[in-house]
Amino acid sequence: MSGHFWAATSTYRDCIDIRQDDSLRWFQSSKEVERGFCVLCGSSLFWNHAEKNTLSIAAGAFDKPTGLDTGAHIFFDDASDYYQVHPDEKKIRGSSS
């Protein structure tokens, strides 16, 4: 998807109103997951899991101030050697493989 980490937030699907136009597309990347992206610039915008009631949204899609805080670093065991995390930030050690 990005070849690196992806900063995201999420909300319940029924709490968001997406006004889709010609620049938003969805790609079925697996049986359970689809990804939303901008066809004009290629930016990844959404991650949607069919079995969850939330929609993940790219944190970079919001203007500042976002009001967002880092909740956790997931799949931390997959992180490369250059990926530094502040010791106070939560790490979820699992691997994506």
pTM of the model: 0.76
The token pair that represents 63 in the structure block? 């203007």
Residue 97 pLDDT exceeds 70: no
Contact 24, 45 (CB under 8 A): yes
Confidence of residue 96 (pLDDT cuts 50, 70, 90): low
In the chain, what are the domain boundaries? 8-66, 68-97
Give per-residue pLDDT as tens, 11-39.
Answer: 999 999 888 778 999 999 999 999 999 99
Taking residues 67-88, what's their average pLDDT? 83
Strand partners, 10: 56
Q: Which residue has the tokens 């939303």?
A: 36
Residue 94 class from Cβ within 10 Å (0-12 exposed, 13-18 middle, 19+ buried)? Answer: exposed
Mean pLDDT, rounded, of the chain: 87
Tell me: pLDDT of 46 over 80.
yes
Question: Which residues, 6 or more positions from 80, have their beta carbon under 8 angstroms from its beta carbon?
Answer: none
Rounded CA separation 69/9 (Å): 9
Contact 51, 59 (CB under 8 A): no
pLDDT at 1 > cutoff 60: no
Q: Residues 3-17: pLDDT tens digits?
A: 667 889 999 999 998
